[in-house]
Amino acid sequence: MGLFGAVLGSFWAVIGPNLWWLLPLVLIGVVFNATMPGRGPRLSRRDTWRLFKFDLRAEVLNRAGGRCEAAFVLFWGRCGSPAVEVDHVFPYSKGGPTVASNGQALCKSHNRRKGSLTPPWWYLLRLEKRRRAYFPPGTDVRVFALMTESDVAARLRSTGGRRSG
């Protein structure tokens, strides 16, 4: 049987009787942390523009009313601190483009805590629900980590026609 068989047998002796509650727990964890289909970045080509700058930065800060968009407690309420930084909802390091639909205005504390975490589906839904209360009327509150043709055109206008970041 060997060492591998003995280890596998010991593992099964402990895990086997507990599968009735372990499998649902693992399934709940996977569902709770899953991303929202169709909202995440397409990893085919990384955006060359890393930082929110120029008109794009001002747009993200203005639509948030200059206030942090993060939740006050877990996923309830809205932080009352002034927004001083613009961050990617879907992190740049994981393929999130630098576009207004993927930007959020955050206070320094919330931006440091978020790090490079990819948001699960429930985070996006709660952020979009909060945004309905303070975004200008007619503005799309949804988070899309995709660069559209209008995003490319706006970037070219902001940079005076230069393509690279």
Which of 39-43, 111-115, 159-163 is predicted least confidently?
Answer: 159-163
Of 63-77, 86-100, 129-143, minimum mean pLDDT range = 63-77
Q: What is the pLDDT of residues 1-28, one digit of tens each?
A: 688 888 888 888 888 888 888 888 888 8
pLDDT at 141 over 90: yes
What are the structural domain ranges in the chain?
Answer: 2-33, 54-158
What does the alpha-carbon distance between residue 23 and residue 29 come to, in Å, rounded to a whole number? 10
pLDDT of residue 1: 61
| Burial class for 27, CB neighbours closer than 10 Å (0-12, 13-18, 19+) | exposed
The reported pLDDT for the residue numbered 58 is 95
